[in-house]
Chain A
């Protein structure tokens, strides 16, 4: 069995704001093993970025409150000292951010920014060695003429090349956990595909665990082993890629999957969408957070549904919906959005 890297249990993150307390993450539980790709999916504001940034201690601040537990190889991250976190950041957990244009310092050379990362954790490495290593990394992620390009500034790079540089930086110390926070969202479609290919290569050639935060289900289908679906700060469903795509249990997941165009279907006249907007996390609805937008809502939904397995043959496929499994399958078919054709895979 692969080594367990992350163990997150009942993670809660809230921020005090002028309007009230925002419960950005409300009871998130998951694990990450070596060599696996875990996708966290959800709309903007569902808490997926806050969850991943909390693992690195990047959401800490005077107004932030944390509860629950998040352990890296058994070591608690939520209560770790700022100094311990400094050693973990970049070396144990590294992150690739959404917008490569604003995520690199505009006034430092690309190579120097990677060198800075390497030397932050090992002062014994000379600048020259670190630079050579940076060039190697840049070559590895497919930046041509890496040695010359390492002396360039971020504004002399295209968006895709900058994201490659970000990946090179994140990989520089071979972290056990790599968090990619919507790494392709800000890029052109063709560049997206290249960057995804890069992440896939990474998955095959390194034994890091990868957390891939995205709202793009096409990307998820492409690279994830397991999927967490988040809605309004809570995990509404989690399971393997096949479980989520071919036997989704939560009406929100149906909605997400239904809003994607599929190559194996006739194109719909109008791309379906989930009506309504996600709730405010300051005054979230009682019970199931998805209730106000859910067409299948009934009395019991005012109680918070537990995150538990409802499909007997898949004990790790968890969801938060009160509907009976058979009932769900019928309703899902009627909604007509999800195909159950397993052979299509």
Chain B
């Protein structure tokens, strides 16, 4: 276990380093990229731009700029170019909103996908299965921004069942919090429900023909018990891997479309704005933030794997 933690920590450090270099490097090669000009303003004189370039170090060599930026990030002093806000405290204050969005959405899609995938597999080939799988395809095919917009238009604007975008924090009013977030939760979850339930269905159908499932039946277990304890239990593993990665990237800001559309002040919304402005510090921090979660959840999933399947051993 100790060895596992050490190795994963080292690989996390390596990944963070690689991510930061690549992301930072991208801006070096973008032709129209001129941060000094962006900060100084559209009508600034060349002198002002030169002063800004000198102040922010944009005229220094790449590796110097990179080291400076890293130093600022790890001392928590990095500011974005656009509004001169502290990026780290911005991420800190926005993270609760992202958690509020992503955690319930993840639970919804995981539970719904397990139920729908199971129903589909148990009724394989029959009407319920076919209907569910068509719905799953539709769910997978609809882009999040379209689904979110349609939900907003129909349920918030036309029928006024739900509020028209916005966010209330959990601590100030839990009921309002959920009320404002229901639509965003489902617009994130729907795609994954479709995808996960299809994957689970095919895992389940493969598993049904396994010898140990036949043994379970031959023992005289009820169909329900055979399904839950033997078939489902052994089919969940591949889903878990997918879940870890999807969940990690959403936490890192991959829900930026939903956050922007529903005006939820999360890290994704911040990153979306930053990307629009070619604002390097938030983009860089966002990428490293995501990379961190990917490594963290990768390790967590491996631990869960080892707990669920005794044949798996933790290795770095």
Whether A associates with B in a native complex is yes
Does any Cβ of B come within 8 Å of A95's Cβ? yes
CB-CB under 8 A for A103 and B219, given A120-B225, A155-B311: no
Of A104-112, A214-222, A263-271, the segment with at least 4 beta carbons within 8 Å of chain B is: A104-112
Mark contacts of B158-191 with chain A using CB atoms, 8 A cut-off: 1 yes-contact digit, 0 otherwise.
Answer: 0000000000000000000000000000000000
Q: State the CA gap A15–B210 with chains docked (Å).
A: 19
Contact of A106 among B214, B219, B311 (CB under 8 A): B311
CB-CB under 8 A for A103 and B220, given A120-B225, A155-B311: no
Does any Cβ of B come within 8 Å of A87's Cβ? yes
Does any Cβ of B come within 8 Å of A56's Cβ? yes
Does any Cβ of A come within 8 Å of B310's Cβ? yes
Does any Cβ of B come within 8 Å of A41's Cβ? no
Does any Cβ of A come within 8 Å of B212's Cβ? yes
Q: Are B219 and A169 in contact (CB under 8 A)?
A: yes
- Chain A residues with CB under 8 Å of B219's CB are 89-90, 116-117, 120, 169
Contact of A90 among B125, B220, B223, B309 (CB under 8 A): B220
- Chain B residues with CB under 8 Å of A108's CB are 229
Q: Are B215 and A120 in contact (CB under 8 A)?
A: no
- Chain A residues with CB under 8 Å of B211's CB are 97, 99, 102-103
Does any Cβ of A come within 8 Å of B54's Cβ? no
- Chain B residues with CB under 8 Å of A104's CB are 212, 215
- Chain B residues with CB under 8 Å of A82's CB are 223
Interface size classification for chain B = 20 to 34
Q: Which of B207-233 contact A (CB under 8 A)?
A: 210-212, 214-223, 225, 229-230, 233
Q: State the CA gap A153–B233 with chains docked (Å).
A: 15
Q: Are A116 and B311 in contact (CB under 8 A)?
A: no
Residue of A nearest to B233 (CB): A107
Q: Are B308 and A107 in contact (CB under 8 A)?
A: yes
Q: Are A91 and B230 in contact (CB under 8 A)?
A: no
Q: Are B309 and A106 in contact (CB under 8 A)?
A: yes
Q: State the CA gap A90–B218 with chains docked (Å).
A: 6
Query: Chain B at the A interface: mostly helix, strand, loop or mixed?
Result: helix
CB distance from A11 to the nearest CB of B (A): 19
Does any Cβ of B come within 8 Å of A58's Cβ? yes
Q: Which of A88-142 contact B (CB under 8 A)?
A: 88-91, 94-95, 97, 99, 102-108, 116-117, 120-121
CB-CB under 8 A for A107 and B234, given A97-B211, A102-B211, A155-B311: yes
Q: Are B221 and A153 in contact (CB under 8 A)?
A: no
Q: Are A153 and B311 in contact (CB under 8 A)?
A: yes
- Chain B residues with CB under 8 Å of A90's CB are 218-221
Q: Are A103 and B214 in contact (CB under 8 A)?
A: yes
CB-CB under 8 A for A120 and B311, given A58-B214, A102-B210, A103-B211: no
CB distance from B169 to the nearest CB of A (A): 41
- Chain B residues with CB under 8 Å of A107's CB are 233-234, 308-310
Q: Are A121 and B217 in contact (CB under 8 A)?
A: no
Mark contacts of B222-261 with chain A using CB atoms, 8 A cut-off: 1 yes-contact digit, 0 otherwise.
Answer: 1101000110011000000000000000000000000000
- Chain A residues with CB under 8 Å of B223's CB are 82
Q: State the CA gap A63–B200 with chains docked (Å).
A: 24
Q: Are A95 and B218 in contact (CB under 8 A)?
A: yes
Does any Cβ of B come within 8 Å of A86's Cβ? yes
- Chain A residues with CB under 8 Å of B230's CB are 105
Contact of B215 among A86, A88, A103 (CB under 8 A): A103
Q: Are B220 and A153 in contact (CB under 8 A)?
A: no
CB distance from A328 to the nearest CB of B (A): 40
Residue of A nearest to B215 (CB): A103
Mark contacts of B57-93 with chain A using CB atoms, 8 A cut-off: 1 yes-contact digit, 0 otherwise.
Answer: 0000000000000000000000000000000000000
- Chain A residues with CB under 8 Å of B225's CB are 120
Contact of B212 among A58, A106, A155 (CB under 8 A): A106
Q: Are A91 and B310 in contact (CB under 8 A)?
A: no
- Chain B residues with CB under 8 Å of A87's CB are 220
Q: Are B214 and A121 in contact (CB under 8 A)?
A: no
Q: Are A117 and B220 in contact (CB under 8 A)?
A: yes
CB distance from A90 to the nearest CB of B (A): 3
Q: State the CA gap A94–B220 with chains docked (Å).
A: 9
Mark contacts of A141-172 with chain B using CB atoms, 8 A cut-off: 1 yes-contact digit, 0 otherwise.
Answer: 00000000000010100000000001001000
Max chain B C-beta neighbours (<10 A), residue from A56, A62, A105, A116: A105
Q: State the CA gap A262–B25 with chains docked (Å).
A: 78
- Chain A residues with CB under 8 Å of B233's CB are 107
- Chain A residues with CB under 8 Å of B310's CB are 106-107, 153, 155
CB distance from B234 to the nearest CB of A (A): 6
Q: State the CA gap A190–B230 with chains docked (Å).
A: 32
Residue of A nearest to B218 (CB): A95
Q: State the CA gap A99–B309 with chains docked (Å).
A: 20
Residue of B nearest to A179 (CB): B218
Q: State the CA gap A121–B225 with chains docked (Å).
A: 13
- Chain B residues with CB under 8 Å of A102's CB are 210-212
- Chain B residues with CB under 8 Å of A94's CB are 218
CB-CB under 8 A for A121 and B234, given A97-B215, A102-B211: no
CB-CB under 8 A for A58 and B217, given A103-B212, A105-B234, A106-B212: yes
Q: Which A residues fall within an 8 A CB radius of B?
A: 56, 58, 62, 82, 86-91, 94-95, 97, 99, 102-108, 116-117, 120-121, 153, 155, 166, 169
Q: What are the 3 closest A-B residue pairs judged by CB atoms, nearest first?
A: A90-B220, A89-B220, A102-B211
Q: Could you give 27 example pairs across A and B, Cβ below 8 Å?
A: A58-B214, A82-B223, A86-B220, A89-B217, A89-B220, A94-B218, A95-B218, A97-B214, A97-B215, A99-B211, A102-B210, A102-B211, A103-B215, A105-B216, A106-B212, A106-B310, A106-B311, A107-B309, A107-B310, A116-B219, A116-B221, A117-B220, A120-B219, A120-B222, A121-B220, A155-B310, A166-B215
Q: A102-B210, A153-B310 are in contact. List 11 more A-B contacts (CB 8 A).
A: A87-B220, A95-B218, A97-B215, A104-B215, A105-B215, A105-B216, A105-B230, A108-B229, A120-B225, A121-B220, A153-B311
